[in-house]
Amino acid sequence: MKRLLFLFLFITCISYSQEEHAWVYFKDKANVEAALDNPSSILSQKAIQRKQLRNTPIDERDVPVNEEYISTIKSQDGITVKAKSKWLNCVHVLGSAENISKLETLDFVSAIEFAGEHNNDRSMLEQKQSRNKLENLVDYEYGLASNQTLMLNTNYLHENDLTGQGITVAVIDAGFPNVNSLAAFSQLRSDGRLLGGYDFPNRSSDFSNPALSNHGTLVLSTMTAYIDGKYVGTAPKSSYYLFRTEIAPTETPVEETYWVEAAERADSLGVDVINTSLGYTLFDDSKYSYAPEDMDGETAFISRGANIATEKGLLVVVSAGNRGDESYFKNIGAPSDANVLSIGAVDKNRNYAFFSSIGPSADGRIKPDLAAQGLDIISIDQFDNLVQGSGTSFASPILAGSIASFWQADPSLTNLEVMDLLKASASQFENPDFKLGYGIPNFKKALDALTDLEEDVDEEKLNIDELLIYQNPVYNLLRFNNPTQGTYDITLFDTIGQIVLQKKNVQEEIDLSGFSRGIYIAMFEQNNTRESFLIIKK
């Protein structure tokens, strides 16, 4: 959906061939058991450590697609393989419907899904193919970029030395021209925090090509650009991978598969946060287009991939879309409809921005989830100019960068825990709607809530004369008051009564960071007395 890119495009005439887009799914994978026994053969060490830290399972979905199957598909008459997905165990192919259908005879093929099959049981979409509005990019004076950061209280994070350090962000977008040379990103490069990237449509590592759309450069700048005295992004010390999956002049289903490929690569590299200011509803060939009722988090291929990304522990932040002022398809697009953080836009005064796409999802979930400034924001273009722009394309990365800075406070938090903390801090948490969801998050409030969960000591509880557990549910450290000033022998049992931990001579706390989530029983013994407590491990 190129409205999400806010680029000006001339309307061109497109001639359609008889080529079809389809996904070919495979029955199995090769060497699964060996790969899972040796996860370093399929994942980076950083990815493995991230999964261990947050108790994210490594499973068969992490094992690559069988390359022999892909080679066989490529050898079939009239078939072109464009992309692949290990999570969904499939390849994206182009070819005639007849040639693609013949692939079903291959013994390793389990199913074929033609793009646009969701249209079979409903009437054809309107033939309306809206093009993008001209983005008004002008130079702004110093200081005007502060509003988009102060609105979220992200400055409070930075004041507390939470700038995203140690958190890795993948930006999946349409191109990042001149990122390798712009002064605004010199600190990013000199610190070694630009970790690399990839151009999936061109199968090239040249993600900074000046010929590409500048949208990714604009988006990235809101997170990590730094110009002394003039501009600071919301996650100025995070590390970044830059992935191009969007082909700006056209809109075809293969871009969905490129996106899933990029998300899989991000996961394998140990990325924490994905920002994607892209979305898909209407395609150049209307037979592939989605309708509002398809935005259920399951119909679109890209949304299914985004769901798996969340299951794999990534926090996926997605722009809601820019169709809120249209008479048709005012709704969010894919993958904003998935189990991700979908971001709507407000103006500088915290009011709903007229263009921001609305919810709910087709299955009734609150969408968008959160909101940030997206009207008249400030970013930096491919020529190092401070420019003004509008779109949920910018609300999303401004918020994603803030999330990266926040997550630095406790990297052991899971993606779902971070999402819950942010929703609870937001301006409309008690009364969400379908324009801004839970509203504008307050990162000061979220950080204070996190501190209350993990660090604050209730002095009144410490002064009472009985043993008392506090901060339960527990994330990492299980703390207790010690009325006798002695030590305790602690035994931890699981729900079936098996001993999972024994510690002697414990005074004030015990580390449970290595334990899986669940319910445990903690038994405290001291001087022939015994007390037990039910513990919820988060």
Catalytic residues: 173, 215, 393
Q: Return all residues near 227 (Cβ < 8 A) that are at least 6 apart.
A: 183, 184, 380, 386
Q: What are the backbone angles phi and psi of residue 374, rounded to the nearest 5°?
A: -135, -5
Neighbour count for residue 257 (Cβ, 10 Å):
26
Find the distance separating the first CA and the last CA of the chain, reported in whole Å.
38
Neighbour count for residue 530 (Cβ, 10 Å):
12
The two beta strands, 529-537 and 518-526, are antiparallel
As a whole number of angstroms, the distance between CA 486 and CA 533 comes to 19
Neighbour count for residue 480 (Cβ, 10 Å):
24
Q: Return all residues near 491 (Cβ < 8 A) that are at least 6 apart.
A: 499, 501, 502, 522, 523, 525
Q: Which two tokens stand for residue 130?
A: 């809206």
Q: What is the DSSP letter of 428?
A: T
Measuring CA to CA, how many Å separate 1 from each of 82, 316, 321, 334, 467?
A: 20, 18, 8, 9, 59
Contact between 7 and 390 (Cβ < 8 Å): no
Contact between 290 and 281 (Cβ < 8 Å): yes
Q: Return all residues near 213 (Cβ < 8 A) that are at least 6 apart.
A: 5, 7, 174, 175, 177, 246, 248
Q: Which of 101, 81, 25 is nearest to 301 (CA)?
A: 25
As a whole number of angstroms, the distance between CA 267 and CA 272 comes to 8
Dihedral angle at the C-alpha atoms of 222, 227, 229, 232, nearest 10 degrees? 20
Helix (H) or strand (E) holding 198: strand 194-199
